[in-house]
Structure 1
Amino acid sequence: MSEDLSQEKARASAWFRELRDTIVAAFEGLEDSHSEGPFADQPAGRFEVTETKRSAEDGSDAGGGLMSVMRGGRVFEKVGVNVSTVYGTLGERAQNAMAARKGIPGMKEDPRFWASGISLVAHMQNPHCPAVHMNTRMFWTPHAWWFGGGSDLNPCLEYDEDTAHFHAVQKAHCDQHGEAHYPRLKAWADEYFFVPHRGRARGVGGIFLDDHCTGDWEADFSFIQDIGRAFLPAYQPLVEKRRGDDFGEAEKDAQLVHRGLYAEYNLVYDRGTKFGLETGHDANAVLMSLPPLAKWV
């Protein structure tokens, strides 16, 4: 049986909110500082913040969070940064999926759960700027607890130097906890963010882990914090470098087609999307990751 971990849960939830606040401020700063190049004459974008609520089947409170979405900015066409802390009991479908995928016994007898995390997806105005995804989370049941998440880069126009920078920053943060982590998490991301029906990766990879529980909560929490801390230094310099580049119709078309691939993955394969919908979380928050415009050929 898993310990209750009440204090640890509170610390994890507070950290995800802190990370959210840091990223939101940095992204609004990118909007303010974009003064030359495409879209610079538009008003600087700002996040619209909405509280989300999850209700149990009997109507009682089951947690919630903040959905923060910016649309039509100078740099970001659509970006969402969501945090949530939800709890209650898993429905039968989610119980079965959890027990089957994670091998957790006793879910039917005691299906309580608690989950907290941050989820971010950014779709950019300029097709030279890569789209990106990041999430980190903690999950608890009476039978087990674990951390998961990571981040991956999704450019429609690939630049080798940008990919190298993104991965180098991820590696540096992982290496603080042991040099064996990065190669394993990179390989995991390559496998997880693969689109089987297209026979190709969603992007140029990153890092990903799930079910991370060594039994040392402090060490595991420190690790997931550093995965979150890696995000801005890995991603922000790429946006600053590319946001002023000129582009034409061909580049914009490539961006829209790539967004179609991204949408296919999130709707068909992404575990977070499935879990959010199965557990009754706000559908708009769950589907925040979908791009504002996309096309298929």
Structure 2
Amino acid sequence: MIKTTEIISYFESLQDDICTALEKMDGKGRFREDLWEREGGGGGRTRIIHGAGIEKGGVNYSHVHGAVTPKMRDAMNMDGDQWQACGVSIVLHPVSPMVPIIHMNVRYFELDDGADWWFGGGIDLTPHYVDVALAKNFHLKMKGVCDAFDPAGYDKYKKWADDYFYIPHRRETRGVGGIFFDHLNEQSGSDKAAIFQFVQNVGEVFVPTYQEQYEATNHRPYGNLEKVWQMIRRGRYVEFNLVWDRGTKFGLISDGRTESILMSLPPQANWAYQYDESEDKNAVNTQEWLKKGVNWVDA
């Protein structure tokens, strides 16, 4: 049986490995680390980078625990007295509007010393401008990771991402999706060791996946028109994270560290009243792709 201490140790090392790789990829930026403690139990390591290509990036590790409060019980439908959670969460906002935003999260949650437990996580990509070939490559990498765990997994987790990373009040997806999964436990049809291996594979595909996207787009030219569109798209990202994201809500209701929870927000974003993107044909094209159910693998 996989021990909770093994999972905690892995997530700590995953944060270290990803930070080292991102510093190398950026070539200039170095992560600043803030160690923090949660008053109700646990704490974490928040690492933020401002670099040559990454305007603002966060790679968070946390291990928190405490008593299940009435607010948590109502919001999360929990049936237990004590909880603990650990994981790594990443959001990268690039300098260039031609480079996509990316998010990854891998996490473990248990109640009452493992009487109930589950894993969750996923990776999703939010281009300011959709490049169909790169979106396809991204989804092929996600499918490869899923296929090694569950031949039917990609279709399930891709749809889950489409449904989850959706902005209902805009009637558009946050980006081109990816994979998302939650509450994976023995009732999902796999044992704990197999699920943990899948989560590790998701964590370890992050860097090569994003590096491919970054290297393919960071050299592309852009001007003021593209920067304006980038700020508009960042605004949509903020709307999702503050209005709909369950992870943000859980962090806030569980008295987590606010600065770490909100590290996912971009350094700047704009909201324009009835913004008209018609002068930017690539922005118009991007809007056409922001919908559920796109078969990116065969695009």
Measured against the shorter chain, the TM-score band is 0.7 to 0.9
Match of residue 121 from structure 1: 91
- Rounded to whole Å, the distance in 1 between the matches of 2:154 and 2:3 is 25
1:227-272 Cα shifts (integer Å, max 9, x gaps): 1122122211110121122110011111100000000000011111
- For 1:37-52, list aligned pairs within 5 A: 44-52=28-36
- For 1:144-163, list aligned pairs within 5 A: 144-163=116-135
1:42-64 Cα shifts (integer Å, max 9, x gaps): xx1111011021012xxxxx111
- Rounded to whole Å, the distance in 2 between the matches of 1:161 and 1:81 is 27
- Rounded to whole Å, the distance in 1 between the matches of 2:3 and 2:177 is 30
Tell me, what secondary structure is at the counterpart of 2:3? helix
Q: Percent identity?
A: 40
- Rounded to whole Å, the distance in 2 between the matches of 1:8 and 1:203 is 36
Whichever residue aligns with residue 51 of structure 1, its letter is: L
Residue 74 (1) aligns with residue 69 (2): no
Cα pair 2:22 2:207 within 8 Å, conserved? no
Match of residue 275 from structure 1: 250
- Rounded to whole Å, the distance in 2 between the matches of 1:264 and 1:149 is 20
Match of residue 179 from structure 2: 207
- Rounded to whole Å, the distance in 2 between the matches of 1:207 and 1:250 is 31
Whichever residue aligns with residue 217 of structure 2, its letter is: R
Match of residue 265 from structure 2: 290
- For 1:1-297, list aligned pairs within 5 A: 8-32=3-27, 44-56=28-40, 62-71=41-50, 73-99=51-77, 104-105=78-79, 107=80, 111-142=81-112, 143-214=115-186, 216-297=191-272
Cα pair 1:169 1:233 within 8 Å, conserved? no
1:14-54 Cα shifts (integer Å, max 9, x gaps): 1111111111111101122xxxxxxxxxxx11110110210
C-alpha root-mean-square deviation of aligned residues, in Å? 1.2
- Rounded to whole Å, the distance in 1 between the matches of 2:207 and 2:96 is 19
Aligned-pair distance for 1:164?
0.6
Whichever residue aligns with residue 255 of structure 1, its letter is: Q
Aligned-pair distance for 1:224?
1.0
- Rounded to whole Å, the distance in 1 between the matches of 2:12 and 2:138 is 23
Whichever residue aligns with residue 47 of structure 2, its letter is: S
- Rounded to whole Å, the distance in 1 between the matches of 2:17 and 2:138 is 19
Cα pair 1:52 1:285 within 8 Å, conserved? no
TM-score, normalisation: structure 2: 0.87
Whichever residue aligns with residue 282 of structure 1, its letter is: R
Equivalent residue pairs, number: 267
Aligned-pair distance for 1:277?
0.8
Match of residue 36 from structure 1: none
TM-score, normalisation: structure 1: 0.87
Tell me, what secondary structure is at the counterpart of 2:163? helix
Tell me, what secondary structure is at the counterpart of 2:248? helix
Q: Which consecutive unaligned segments of at least 5 residues does structure 1 have?
A: 33-43, 57-61
